[in-house]
Structure 1
């Protein structure tokens, strides 16, 4: 989603204050900022107003602006927090949120997508490609697109977790279960890497890694119905997972639990693994349900 000039200026001015370690009380003028960033004074004026609202700047009696104590501390802010968000990521999550809120119909044309989310054709193609890969939209003949069914309520989300407890633990106890050692070790490496970078990973990264592990275990069951059911359910719940409040400490804890689960399977302890995955899923369901109900 293309950003307005004032959106970019807010970030650019913050970056400027941080880079130059501007002290409290340093004056900022519309003219100087307009010349520095090669823009007109109108978007600069809007950016200054927004920065004053954030407490980064203070308004002066003469109408000018000065750096506040909060603004002077920006040089201590991690660089990532002063970087503009990815416009394609913004558009992707805006579409997902609108779909879950019922603000988008089942069928949408490319022109409607582009107009509603201010996307170029190239940007829209990239966003739609990701949505297709993740399984929650499909192309219709012509230029139309149709959303596939997704979980849209807390009740169906909770039901999905209860269903997973039933089928994933049962899958490990199937007589046809055969541990795919190579695939499990790949998942183990992925979980360790995720744990090492949990503070940088996105909600999508975490969902994809965790889904891959659980679907790998389901595939070991040799039961085509369990494999198909879990794959379909994961596709349905993807957007609800993205929407949940994101607790990195809980995500790290689940990574560590996944490593325990993998160890049990690599050691051939199927009954212990089945018990463990039931507790793991039940705890995750309770945790996410409680977090979604918390105020704020």
Structure 2
């Protein structure tokens, strides 16, 4: 069985592009409160996933309530399992759903669980995720200037914000658009309390999106963007063969802590850096230190 990709909400599960892509596991321990879903039930849920899949990669939004995050880490700690990866990329919710879909697609390839988990950081750099917002007054996940804060109080003002791969914010006027991806993408958009016309009619053509599809707005989106007046969007590489080449092009190493394979500079399962920090050399004895000649470098 392929490595399980788990998410913390049903609205983070995008429809598969083909019949081969497995679905994601929706963790009830994250969806339901501790009152309605006990720790024992949460442990059983995760243990069952491990028994069936061997390893579990959990994607949790950075804006998720602390109680959800604490429950996930409690489950991992009680099970004493190094087969659970808890990833919280700095992606907006719709972008996170796209990443989950990409990992689901790659889970049926010949990647080890460690490579699959650590590839999330790589793939995140190729997801252009943002939103059309009616206000940036409370937005704190993307740098916002004082001038933009002031303009957000003016009726009818809208802002286009790019969260990843590089933060960008513009006022929606005329033909102004956000920096476009330099590769072919499919765009998803999810409508909140704003019209999607600018996203579908201006941004998507400017980005030369190969396909534009509407998705369900994730429940975390309003919290992440600090407003319900939004249209969230995410553009990403849809071709699994291209994603496969991206991951295989990176050198693989073994984690010095848990032994799993990884790509990049950090293990997706135990979060250990690629190599152990070098030991600091002991200070040399005073008599062994020679003074440099004046002016020497």
TM superposition score category, shorter chain reference: under 0.3
More strand by share: 2
More helix by share: 1
**Structure with larger RCO (C-alpha < 8 A, sep 6+):** 2
TM-score (norm 2): 0.24
TM-score (norm 1): 0.24
